[in-house]
Amino acid sequence: MSASKETEQKIQQLQLMEQSMQQFLVQKQGFQTRLAEIESALAELKNSETAFKIVGNIMVSSKKQDIEKDLNEQKEKAELRIKMLEKQEDKIKERAEKLQKEVLDEMKGKD
């Protein structure tokens, strides 16, 4: 039993989609890790009277409000990136499921 060229192309597309999903997962995990670090830093900042910021290879004293503002901006960006990656993931999942169904139907039709 050999698959048609069209079916083979669909299988290749499915493989590419799987690779894309893996890349999205790695990126999303990176942003989730960064988000956890930011949330931890914000929590520590609330319990601290003095604040420092790392600039290059040194740590400098900074205003607590400035650091908090910067961390909140970073948090927003990370959350947006995660949402964007999740939307892209969902779109690819939908396309992959549809394509997988087509391939399975074609292969069942060959039996």
Distance CA 71, CA 48 (A): 15
The structural domain count of the chain equals 1
| pLDDT value, residue 2 | 60
Residue 99: count of CB within 10 angstroms of its CB: 16
Q: For residue range 64-99, list pLDDT tens digits in order.
A: 999 999 999 999 999 999 999 999 999 999 999 999
The residue type at 91: K
Residue ranges of E strands in 26-106: 51-55, 58-62
| pLDDT value, residue 105 | 87
| pLDDT value, residue 23 | 96
Distance CA 103, CA 111 (A): 13
| pLDDT value, residue 6 | 87
| pLDDT value, residue 13 | 94
Residue numbers of the domain that contains 56: 5-110
CATH classification of the domain holding 89: 1.10.287.370
| pLDDT value, residue 21 | 94
Torsion sign (Cα): 86, 98, 111, 7? negative
| pLDDT value, residue 1 | 46
Q: For residue range 1-53, list pLDDT tens digits in order.
A: 466 888 889 999 999 999 999 999 999 999 999 999 999 999 999 998 889 98
Model confidence, pTM: 0.80
